[in-house]
Amino acid sequence: MKSILKRYRVFLIILLGLLIVTLFNKTLGLHALSVTAYSLKELLLVVPPIFILLGLLDVWVPKETMMKYMGEGSGIKGVLLAFIIGSAAAGPLYGAFPVAAVLMKKGVSFKNVLIFIGAWSTTKIPMLLFEISALGMKFALTRLLIDIPGIIIISFILSSVISKKEVKEIYENAGDLSS
């Protein structure tokens, strides 16, 4: 019982805070509860398909294949694949992290995992199409042409600044999560 309380203490503290807010300001408390319920519903609609796809990726794609195409020494093809996979993804950014954990488990290089996360967050195809229709082709392509080199530069800087020991710990933690 004590371990369950410790594990969910943040949730319980927030729930208690929500109850206190509701006692003092019913309208605000009910609005906060409504927003929370909407976010939870959205989460429950997005996460299961992501985990199904992750299971398929884990079973269908051998580790050796991922290491060959996206591992250390994969070069430009690894970078391009990381961009394509990240850009073709759908869903909010929190969906990228379980996918990144599976990619790490499969032996994808840290640099390519960072590129994948960057591409997921900024170069998604649906977002590009929306920008073209709402803000114009010139804006969308300008932003894309700035983002792509930015993602690559940031991933190269981060992968060279973060120590091998820290990267190893990140990979170990990702392996623990995806097991």
Burial 49-68 (b: 16+ CB within 10 A, else e): ebeeebeebeeeeeeeebbe
Angstrom distance (rounded) from CA 11 to CA 14: 5
- What per-residue confidence (pLDDT) applies to 52? 84
**Token pair listed for 64:** 């050796």
- What per-residue confidence (pLDDT) applies to 179? 53
pTM of full prediction above 0.85: no
- Residues of the chain under the 70 pLDDT cut: 177-179
Chain centroid offset of residue 10 CA: 22
- What per-residue confidence (pLDDT) applies to 148? 95
Angstrom distance (rounded) from CA 142 to CA 5: 49
The residue with tokens 């990240």 is: 86
Angle at 136 between CA 152 and CA 143, to 5 degrees: 15
Contact 95, 89 (CB under 8 A): yes
Angstrom distance (rounded) from CA 93 to CA 123: 12
